[in-house]
Structure 1
């Protein structure tokens, strides 16, 4: 080698090293797990433990399943626990027939109200009357009348009886030939009732009358005594009311 070539080599060896050539790295995705690793991974994800907020229960879910929506338990005071409303009572059956005309009042009641009485009666299928007259006084008597609005004769028996009762109540306010002392509603007797204390014009008698309706029957009880005293009002009305209660009881059968 000549001197010029050696000097050149010497200069090259004494200089800085050559920079490395650029290297481009190619990205490659990681390899999928081998089949031998899958069962272990699925076993880890197969069970999920969820503590229930209300009952502290444990819910096991398979991998990939979503938990079912939770439903709140019904409140003990909510509609689900409300007591059922009581059923309304069925309407009472209409009265089918009337008792015997003089069979609505007991013999004991008759003896107490009108001693030594003789009786007269009249009856058909819808209207019965029985009159008990004292043998010792023409002015002392007890009269019982019952009027039935039979289901066989009308489609509205109770309504017909109610209209009849209302008509009698109105007529009592305009009755001729009598002097009305008191006329008022009577509570606690049948479905509706009124009592009427009056005196006959031209006769020395006073009459206590009670009219009552129960279902499709209207009954009227009148009790008369000789006299014009206001003190007789309570006695006459009490006697008529007691007999009316007995008559209403007989209509229940």
Structure 2
């Protein structure tokens, strides 16, 4: 037998694990950092844009300075939007009772209407209705403007020229606020019972005039004049509530 060739030891080639690419881990970290910063920026932007609530639960987005234009839509649902026809607020029965066989004269625009019923038999007997409107389309504060006009009328009644005030007092149950005024005309032998009232953004006045009574009948005529003006004022109020 021939000599056997010695078995040479088998050396397995060794290849250790490849080290990670030097740039791989820093790049992944950079991506994560960028994503985190972007998320934080987006969260801050959403917080700043979304309406929050301030102290006392007030919605910051709804807070506007008083008297600014956005105030009008908030009042629009509870204001008088238009005036009725100038001679269409008092019923024919009420007019006939106050001024029988009356002739009428009227004027109107979008913010002021007047209607005067005059007796054909007496120059001193008449019924007059006047209505003022502060329209939401003309002012951002229609109710406040009407309040100011009503207050001015009330103040002027205390120092009216050419009339002698017999009684002047506030009244309840007619609109948001009202007063009743019984006065005598210094230049004419007439007395006038007047009711002025405000309903939201509208102010109206009803005046009823007749010949001045004798001194002994003045109290009775005062009550009658003011009752006539009040009855007509309630009908005007009902008409405005439909507008």
Residue 104 of structure 1 corresponds to which residue in structure 2?
Answer: 89
| Deviation per residue, 1:18-71 (Å, 9 max, x gap) | xxxxxxxxxxxxxxxxxxxxxxxxxxxxxxxxxxxxxxxxxxxxxxxxxxxxxx
Distance 2:144 2:154 in 1: 15
Moved >2 Å (runs of 4+): none
2:191 pairs with 1:202: no
2:241 pairs with 1:245: no
Residue 208 of structure 2 corresponds to which residue in structure 1?
Answer: 223
Q: What RMSD, in angstroms, separates the aligned Cα atoms of the two structures?
A: 1.2
2:197 pairs with 1:212: yes
Residue 142 of structure 1 corresponds to which residue in structure 2?
Answer: 127
Please state which structure has a larger fraction of its residues in helix.
2
Stretches of structure 1 lacking an aligned partner (at least 5 in a row): 1-89
Displacement after TM superposition at 1:109 (Å): 1.1
SS in 1 for 2:83: coil
SS in 1 for 2:224: helix
Distance 1:133 1:226 in 2: 13
Figure out how many residues of one structure are paired with residues of the other and give that number. Answer: 164
Displacement after TM superposition at 1:228 (Å): 3.7
Q: 1:233 aligns with which of 217, 222, 225?
A: 222
2:174 pairs with 1:185: no
- Greater relative contact order structure (CA < 8 Å, 6+ sep): 2
TM-score calculated relative to the size of structure 1: 0.63
SS in 2 for 1:169: helix
When Rg is computed on C-alpha atoms for both structures, the one with the higher figure is 1
Displacement after TM superposition at 1:252 (Å): 1.2
